[in-house]
Amino acid sequence: MISFSPSEDQKLMLDSVAQLAKATLRPRIREFEAARGLPEDVRKAAHEMGLGLVAIPSEVGGAGLGLTTAVILEEEIAWGDPGAAYGFAGPGAFGRAVVELGSKEQATQYLEPFTQPDAFGRFGAVAWGEPKAGTDRGGLCTLAKAAAGGGWVLDGEKAYVINADRADRLVVFAQVDPDAGWSGIGAFVVRRDAPGVEILPRSTTLGLDVASFGGLKLTQVRVGAEARLDGGVSDASAGPQTFNDALVRFFAKEALLVAARAVGLSRAAFEVTREYCDTRVAFGKAIGHFQAVAFTLADRAMDVEASRALVWRAASLWDSGAPAGKALRASASAISHALEAAMRCGDDAVQLHGGAGFMRDYPVEKFMRDAKQLQLCAMTAEQADQLAAAVELDRPLDPGLVLPSAETQNAFV
């Protein structure tokens, strides 16, 4: 039955996260930006609330609350500060990658450092993107070669890696079979302190600078055979599937969380702007009382509501075990709609503030910059559209089209 009511448990968690967003994140948003990271007291508060482990299944040490709960909370956190989710410590995308791509044993093992009592302060990261295409074949340039005596040797350079310099552990994607193009990719868990891993300096970015956007160089990095995540291909009980099936699922869910942050950003930008239009007087009345302004606000309010409902629907389809095609299609709609809506909300927020919107006295210029940055995290709207079309047209999911790639656009993970 169609219902838009969060459960009692979800409401309780939402209340406490909303409190954190309202009392701590929003008032200090400029402080975080200047510091280019979240201070320890804020990270500690998030850690104590268990925000890093919400959607991680309980059998591998997470809270097991599902994706629907996760998107509700992500929206609220992003309402406070769209970048905050990337600045909290925790397994983050790393955790979700080992859950989606690894076996239960691997997930338990690699998540353990994040579920222990001394876990506070640990970051994980995912290294997917690369600085350039560099080849005329499909796939990644970073190579993984079977090492003599077992295990793998990784060589190459990764870019657009969120929290590369903060992470203890990373999931690194590399080409195992160069002749197989996008079907020849493998995923490996790499420790940051492994010999041959060099963390590159972080970049200064347009938005979300609370996160650290960086990269790494891998020179003859050796990992054991057990460090390869095979996407459940070897797990007979999961049914026949390819590594790419799991990879697309991972990216779609990751991008759905980004979409939830986009909803929070849209709502924040909308609310601040609504307030401004209510109080700013021009030509003798509140500017919101002019139709051109009021209709713009109405359109953005529709953007917020529609994005949220699409994100909830996609998350609840994943949680209820709907067929992957259906959940992927719903996710694609949610991702592209929410990302584009966030850009419209950020843009109109600055526009309706007029000159004031350009000043850093108001948060809206930050929302606008963050919106563009969010559009380049995990999956772009264009890639999500290609994903939706692939499902709709019964085409095989071509990772060259639906995944962040050098041929299409790079995106941060």
Q: Minimum distance from CB of 224 to another protein (Å)?
A: 36
Considering the complex, state which of residue 245 and residue 303 has its C-beta at the smaller distance from another protein.
303
Binding residues for another protein, rule: CB under 8 A, are 1-7, 10, 68, 274, 277-278, 286, 288-291, 294-295, 297-299, 301-302, 305-307, 309-310, 312-313, 316-317, 320, 322, 330, 332-333, 336-337, 382, 384-386, 388-390, 392-395, 398, 400-401
Considering the complex, state which of residue 9 and residue 226 has its C-beta at the smaller distance from another protein.
9
Considering the complex, state which of residue 233 and residue 294 has its C-beta at the smaller distance from another protein.
294
Helix (H, G, I), strand (E, B) or coil at 272: helix
Q: Minimum distance from CB of 289 to another protein (Å)?
A: 6
Q: Minimum distance from CB of 393 to another protein (Å)?
A: 6
Radius of gyration, alpha carbons of the chain: 21
Enter the tokens of residue 265: 């950003």
Cα(383)–Cα(380) distance, rounded to whole angstroms?
5
Considering the complex, state which of residue 230 and residue 398 has its C-beta at the smaller distance from another protein.
398
Q: Residue 144: beta bridge partners?
A: 154
Considering the complex, state which of residue 200 and residue 322 has its C-beta at the smaller distance from another protein.
322
* Residue listed under structure tokens 């419209």: 344
Q: Minimum distance from CB of 351 to another protein (Å)?
A: 16
Question: Please, is 351 exposed, middle or buried when counting C-beta atoms within 10 Å of its C-beta (0-12, 13-18, 19+)?
Answer: middle
Q: Minimum distance from CB of 348 to another protein (Å)?
A: 13
Q: Minimum distance from CB of 18 to another protein (Å)?
A: 17
Torsion angle (degrees, nearest 10) of CA 214, 220, 225, 229: 20
Cα(24)–Cα(5) distance, rounded to whole angstroms?
27
Considering the complex, state which of residue 151 and residue 400 has its C-beta at the smaller distance from another protein.
400
For residue 76, the surrounding DSSP H or E stretch is helix 66-80
Cα(396)–Cα(184) distance, rounded to whole angstroms?
16
Q: Minimum distance from CB of 397 to another protein (Å)?
A: 11
For residue 200, the surrounding DSSP H or E stretch is strand 197-203
Considering the complex, state which of residue 101 and residue 384 has its C-beta at the smaller distance from another protein.
384
Enter the tokens of residue 153: 């040797």
Helix (H, G, I), strand (E, B) or coil at 130: coil
